[in-house]
Amino acid sequence: MFADSLGLRWNYHLLARPGYVILLTNYTGSTGFGEKFAQDIQGDPLRGPGEELNEAVDAAIKTFPFVDATRLAAGGASYGAHLANWLEATTTRYKCLVSHSGEVDLQAQWGSSDGNYHRELASGGPPWGDSQVWRDQSPIHYAANFRTPMLLSVGEHDFRVPINNTLENWSALQRMKVPSKLLVWPDENHHITNGEDSRYFYQEVLGWFGTWIK
């Protein structure tokens, strides 16, 4: 659910300023459409919503002639970054991606996050159980498919999605020789709240977009 308001995360008005078309979607798991819709993500934390993102892009391209289908980018923070990492693993349709505070390894995230019970709900049980979600929907297991240039960002005081996930993603991107850049914020947590840090972050994001989809 996105409100028509200004904020540090994400400031989609600022992202649109250079002339980009911004597509915001309410994929399965979003709030505002009833409890069942919000809970249907359980057992399908990334694949289903990721496919819905691509379907939304297809619909936007079909509906709005001013959308340039040859210059697409995607990005997100927190769960949105989980999905950005999933797009890295499953498609090459986007020219570049941005991932702030995103998990790439579901098992590592379970073991290091300050909140792991809801991870078990989303994945159908603990990592040592019978659920295949822990592997089948963990982007790191598809690192051989990583091709899309990616900007990574993380706060060193992030306890929700600790830095180990971002460093693992960075290592995989570097190992696969994918153009990538890593931003580490020494004084930030799960959110970038310092004004100057936020200013620099958006400069980097818009610079990344400008490099790949200008």
* Segments making up each domain of the chain, as ranges: 29-213
Pairing, β 96-100 against β 180-185:
unpaired
pLDDT value of position 39: 92
pTM: 0.95
Does position 6 have pLDDT exceeding 80, yes or no? no
Tokens of 160: 């929700």
> Which residues are identified as catalytic?
78, 158, 190
Percent of the residues in the chain that have a pLDDT greater than 90, as a whole number? 87
Domain 29-213, classified CATH 3.40.50.1820, yes or no: yes
pLDDT value of position 8: 73
Q: Give mean pLDDT, residues 54-63.
A: 98
Mean pLDDT of all residues belonging to the chain? 94
Q: Which helix (H) or strand (E) holds 5?
A: none
Q: Are 166 and 102 in contact (CB under 8 A)?
A: yes
Q: Are 134 and 188 in contact (CB under 8 A)?
A: no
Structure confidence by residue, pLDDT tens digits, 128-176:
999 999 999 999 999 999 999 999 999 999 999 999 999 999 999 999 9
Q: Which residues contact 158 (CB under 8 A, 6 or more apart)?
A: 101, 188, 189, 190
